[in-house]
Structures are given as structure tokens and as C-alpha cells.
Amino acid sequence: MTEIVTSVEALIAASKDVGIRRIVVQGALDDAPSIRLSPGQSLHGEGQSARIGFAAGSDGLQLSSDNRVHNLRLDAAIDKRAIFNDTSVDSLGRIELRGVTTTGRVQILARDKVRGGHVDVHGLDIIAADARSEMERPHGYGVYVLHGAFTLWNMQSDETVIISADLTGLSAGRDGAPVRGSGIFVSGAGDTGGRLNVRRLETEAVYSDGGIVPGTADQITGGVFTVYGAHVDVVRNRGPVVTYGVNDMVLDNWGVVDRWTAEAKITSHGPSGIGFVNFGIVRELRVNAPIETFGQGARGFNVYTGTVDLAEFDRVTTHGDGSVGIQISQPIGKLVVRRGIETFGGTGPSLVKGVVITLSAIGFSIKPGGSAREIEISGGIRTNGPGVAPIEQHGSVETFRVSGGFVAAGGGFDNI
């Protein structure tokens, strides 16, 4: 049965009628209380003006199981949840969001009674959101991860609980008006426990600012963050990913990703905001556009834990003191840079595993414990800061080819 609703009162009544399977919203409905869809119900917008605005201080649309939301705008306060789920049901069933726009967060959690289900998202634009109030956060490597404007998290400690997902067309924030907290966040329960299996994670433009207080060493965010327990077949960043704040990683992986491709520019403006940081496993990483960081201690790419079998980059540029171009601390496979590495900073502080340490803006650094099967860099390695070496090597490399040379343009080596 289909019900067309044109008022908040009609929407409330339809959502409570289990005999109504399809609710169609016409026009703009304002000052709505939080609405819960019954299992099996779907909510659709008809026309460009279809919209639900939720009352101040109220969360928005609560999903139960086997719910679909199509072609609709949902507006809540930015620190509230425009879409969230009822964790007292046994399963998510199959949840589908398609052509949805929100202000306010989208949060789907597998916890309490929820022990299974699948999530499809195809076209979700989160205009504005603030996730900083969520205090239950993943923890690892000395830091806590702030939730995202979009958060999908399997929190069940039982390793037999598996949530699956297919996520395409996700965007968050606007250029100069980022979401607060992380941008796109997907996670399992941990290195052990419930898993999140994602077929595709495809993002459009993502702009985020964690709003972390300067000097905080135990909190981080990510523009796009695959956290531990997340196993993703393909991550594809079709649009730019930009972070603005302190400890705001642009792309961060703690999980397992088979193929990760970035097709547009990766940019970090804040202190200790890394372009791509890996603590998990990536089989193939291809960044087909420049990585550029501007903040103090904001490295371009690093592997501190885990490994990358193949990493290919267009160009890596950093500007801040302590901002290493590429840093390797674990064994990796093959690494290729097509258009060179350049750093402009000198020596300064940078966040490493929850501890602020002093680094120099070396172009390419292989730390003790780091090694590579093959490294190939075209376009050279250039540093511009005084006394900053283009390369630092403490680990083994089987094959190392650099065309374009090593240039320490900042000088300052007279007394070394």
C-alpha cells in the first residue's frame, strides 16, 4: 500500500501504520519530530521540493530493517543525526539510501541486538554535519578516531557478526565549509571482532575539519577513513578530498583494502594532516592526482604499520616544517612516483602514533624497519628547507631508480 503525505501529521500516522509499505512525501514538511520507519517501509520524495525538516534539537529519520529512502532531502541540526538506525532490532535487513541529501549526520551502527544486514548507499550528499559530540570512538596506535558525517560501524565484538555494504556517490561538506569531525568513516569492531565487508566505497568531493584543539596528540580524523575491521574491495575517490584542521588525515587506512584509487587532488591544510597514511593492508594504491600538504608536520604519504604491495603516485609536495614527503617504516612492495617529490619546510614537530616528535622535511625517508622491493621515482627529489636532505635511508631497497636527481636547494650542509 502506498500513502502520499503532504503534512507532518500524515507522515507520523503513515510511519506507524505497518500496512503502509511505501510513503511518498510531496512538498516541504517542516518542524517534524523524529520519525521511525517500520520494518519493510520505504520513504520516497516526489519532485525536487520534497523535503523533511526536523524540529530543533531532534534527531531525524530512524531506520529499523529493510527500509529504503529515495530522492529526498532531510534537514536536522548539523550536530544531530538526519538518519540513524534502531539498534533494538535483530538485523538491518537491507537498508538502501538513494539520491538523498542531508544536513545533519548519517549514522548506521551494528550494536546491541543488531547482528547482521546489508547497507546500500548510492548518492548521498551531506551538506553540513558535526560529529564531534560522539564520545565512543575507535582507538588504536595511540589515538582515537572521531566519527564522520557518514558513519557505518559494526561494533559487535563477536567475529561471526558480519555487516556488508556497497557505497557509491558519497559526498560531504563544501569547499570552505567542511563537515566537522571525519568525513566518511567505515569500521568494524577492531582487528578482532565483527567485520564490515564493503564491496565499493566511492566518494565524490569530501571537505572535512575535525576541529581538534591544537596540541591534542590522541585524536585524529580522516577525510575518508577505513578503520580497523573494515575489509573493502575497492575504494575510489572520484572527487577531491580536502582536510583543514589539526591531525586531520586526508585518506587513512587501518583496515584491508584490495584496490584504492584517488582520481582527484588530495589536500591537507592543517598541522599533522597526512595525505595518505596506512596502518593496515593495501594491495594496490594509485593516486592519480597530486598530494599536497600545507601544515606543519603534514607528511605526504607514510606507512608506519601494515604494508602496501603497490603504491603509485602522481606527485607529492609538502610545505610545512617537519613535513616529510614520503616515509616508510615497514616493508612494502613497489613504490612509483611519476612527477617527483618536493618539500619546502625545515625541521618541526609532527604527530606519529599519538606522540609528537621532531622531523625534518626530508623528501624520501626509509626508517629502520622499513624496506622496499622496488622504488622508482621520476622527476627527482627536491628539498628547499635549510639543512634538509632529499633522502634518508636506514632500510634496504632491492631496486632504487631516480630520474631527475636529488636536489637540496636550501643548502645548510657546510658544517655537516
Cα separation, 65 vs 90, whole angstroms: 9
Q: Which residues contact 299 (CB under 8 A, 6 or more apart)?
A: 274, 275, 277, 293, 318, 323, 324, 325, 326, 327, 350, 359
Cell of 110: 551494528
Pairing of strands 143-145, 139-140: antiparallel
Give how far Cα 173 sits from Cα of 101, 150, 212, Å: 11, 11, 17
Asked if 285 contacts 291 with a C-beta cutoff of 8 angstroms, the reply is no
pLDDT at residue number 5: 94
DSSP 12: H
| Surface-to-core class of residue 111, CB atoms within 10 Å of its CB (0-12 exposed, 13-18 middle, 19+ buried) | middle
Cell of 216: 591534542
Beta-carbon count within 10 A of 337 CB:
29
pLDDT averaged over 10-residue windows placed end to end, the chain, 416 residues: 93 94 96 97 95 96 98 98 98 98 98 98 98 96 96 98 98 97 98 97 98 94 98 98 98 98 98 96 98 96 95 98 96 98 90 76 95 97 94 94 92 60
Q: Residue type for 381, please?
A: I
pTM: 0.95
Cell of 293: 600538504
